Amino acid sequence: MLQLSKNIIGKDIMSLRTGGKVATAVEPIINPHNLKIEGWYCEDVFNKEMLVLLSQDVRDFVPQGLAVNDYDVLTHPDELIRLRAILALEFQLIGKRVVSNHKRKLGKVSDYALETSTMRVQKLYVARPVYRSLSTGQLSIDYAQIIEINDKHIVVREADIPATHHIKAAIPATN
């Protein structure tokens, strides 16, 4: 199931054991190499400390937010040795510039959709510049179209067939 980023940022983290709120999801931790959500920075409800909820500890996405087994799944960032390099990147997807493989500026990422079963960003929604948005609106880019992600922008595959090409009429089969 796809979830928009606004449905996973700023939401409560609920404990299935106690039935109450244990933290608030502040910001996703996104691996820029494969656009997988590795976890979320979250604010502990008890002492306001910034902790990390790993994506594998999320049991379900519920209307109230994210469901986890218990408060114990929240970890201090310093304890996550395997994620240290990803955490250090501080990668932000919202606001990232998007360009085509033909060097055309397409806009900036305004939202994204997460596939909840794989925790991978499946769709990017790109806000176009004002002069283009009047005629075309928002652009939707599938994960399969992404060629490269770097510090400055995201490069996506653009259709290589110019609009001037027409499909040739089919030649009828002869017996």
The radius of gyration computed from the CA coordinates of the chain, to the nearest angstrom, equals 20
Reported pTM: 0.81
∠ CA(57), CA(63), CA(68), 5° rounding? 20
Q: What is the full per-residue pLDDT of the chain (175 aa) written as tens digits?
A: 888 888 788 899 999 999 899 999 999 999 999 999 999 999 999 889 999 999 999 999 888 889 999 999 999 999 999 999 999 999 999 999 999 999 899 999 999 999 989 999 999 999 987 655 555 667 899 999 999 998 899 999 986 544 444 434 444 445 4
Question: In whole angstroms, what is the distance from residue 30 CA to residue 71 CA?
Answer: 22
- Give start-end residues of each CATH 3.90.50.10 domain in the chain: 2-89
* Run of H or E residues at 85: helix 84-89
- Give start-end residues of each CATH 2.30.30.240 domain in the chain: 97-156
Instruction: Decide which of 2.30.30.240, 3.10.129.10, 3.40.50.10860, 1.10.3720.10 is the CATH code for 97-156.
Output: 2.30.30.240
SS (H, E, C) 139-171: EEEEHHHEEEECCCEEEECCCCCCCCCCCCCCC
CATH superfamily of 2-89: Photosynthetic Reaction Center, subunit H, domain 2 (3.90.50.10)
Which residue spans within the chain are E strands per DSSP? 2-4, 12-15, 21-31, 36-44, 50-54, 58-62, 65-68, 74-75, 97-100, 105-115, 120-127, 139-142, 146-149, 153-156
